[in-house]
A and B are shown apart, each in its own frame.
Chain A
């Protein structure tokens, strides 16, 4: 998901809320020190978030030039804890001044089975966590079908269940990346931790970079908006988004396990390949069919804008339907409501940004019950990978996005958005019940219409033969613990 985000609201369903009713109490035994359930300090539900206890990635995008995703498999609890002991002290917390460009930055997130391999959690605990984090990624809910199916992930070099932990490195220079990488790999070798390498026939890790000017491979500008979060639960801040969408452990009245998860978050990693030649060809051919009398470049920009909901330089269609603005402020405009465009005349209902952040659009009956009064929100982080490509001729290189989505309820936040991307029938006013996000939908979905309906220049248009412009290459459902929990896991 790329594009849009950012308005107020309180989560309708929260991750932690699911846990307390189990009342599971872990016991000592097995390897290491088991985490004991502690009574919750009810005052903490309203507490200021201690920045030093939160991994920095939650609070902000780093926007560092280089990003590396290390995937590792632990040999056993001893090896896991030894490795973590070396690297947890280097983890970047939210109190660090990232604007001062400390280098390198590091964050650590675990798959559920990786977390359990540390031996810190009692076996019974696993039943207390939601299925979305305990199990393999729900490919059905994400509509990862056809060439996006899980058996084709990771370039076939390993399986999702092989990954125990992800170390996320953000660096200012190749030298810094190389030096940190050497140290991490030396440490991994010492503790018998196996690195899983998906790139270059299993020789390289998954690297991303900060897209120049924020322009991603399909030519859209990214990073325009993110939710403004009320991190400290301050009263009378209606324009800020509730922190409970993104930080575990602050749900009112919670008890067991809340201390273990507090200040952590779920992190969904999506590795997505973008087919730039196919997209550019689609734009050229369809734009020429739709508007043969318009200059081709202008027609292609209009079609691209209708698919995203923003002109490719960021200018939102709802506010500026006639063309992209040159003014930076207008390009980054985020102060709009779909009440300005209730029938989808300017911004189509299935445009990407109108799906992933519906703002004030009315939901249909079932969805309005599930998400009233809020709407699914996620914090987006990530990088791009692969060389830039203009034109329509494939160059044999892979390119795309490595997206990371932070939330507290994978099902009610991330997976719902994935369902909506693949079937845009959640709007109260939508009549194309089997439409999809024209950019990110998976066309193998059995019931999808393959049609993109929109209005432009006073006419209704229906584009058929939507293609798969993206392909999922890997997904991880991870737990990004607090700093305190990281220390427990490595103790």
Chain B
């Protein structure tokens, strides 16, 4: 069953951070993209993923994934430390290498913006309220279901 991640990282506005943002953006296709690609393929829990720079003020990691948010974040904490270290280095956040499982989850939870509306897919969030609206043409099908169907 797909869930939405709308991880929205506020980017610091100082000159050094903005320079680093430009560098990350420039290096993204060669340095980060292949790593993300490999990890997502391996995971078989991510439907779609992209990283969006919102006018140099926010960086958004937007994905649709299967399963629990907590388990999902732990996979990426372990599998993509370089990518998240780079992304979090732009924010007023603790250094990624100092974040353990719980802290990374709490940080990602606090940065995850709820979509408007309510899900039609029957899932609730961690506090029991319905998740935000997410349309899925494939309904409750997981990545594994879709891949298995060919």
Chain A residues with a Cβ under 8 A of chain B: 13, 17-18, 21-22, 130-131, 138-141, 364-366, 369-370, 409, 411-412, 415-416, 419, 425, 431, 433-434, 446-447
Contact = CB atoms under 8 A, between A and B. Distances in A.
A447 B68 CA distance: 13
Interface residues of B, number: 35
Contacts of A369: 42-43, 75, 78-79
A373 B44 CA distance: 20
Give the dominant DSSP class at A's interface.
helix
Contacts, number: 76
Nearest to A13: B101
A433 B75 contact: no
Contact of A446 (B72, B103, B140): B140
Nearest to A138: B126
Given A13-B74, A131-B102, A369-B79, 8 more contacts: A18-B102, A21-B98, A138-B126, A364-B44, A369-B42, A416-B71, A433-B144, A446-B140
17 contacts: A17-B100, A17-B101, A140-B124, A140-B126, A366-B44, A366-B71, A370-B74, A370-B75, A409-B101, A411-B102, A415-B70, A419-B71, A433-B142, A433-B145, A434-B142, A446-B122, A447-B140
Given A141-B68, A446-B121, A21 B42 contact: no
Contacts of A434: 142
A431 B94 CA distance: 40
Residue among B1, B45, B101, B126 with most chain A CB within 10 A: B101
Given A140-B128, A411-B70, A366 B102 contact: no
Contacts of B67: 366, 419
Contacts of A431: 148
A446 B101 contact: no
Contacts of A364: 44, 144
Nearest to A416: B71
Contact of B148 (A21, A139, A365, A433): A433
A140 B3 CA distance: 14
Residue among A13, A416, A433 with most chain B CB within 10 A: A433
A17 B102 CA distance: 9
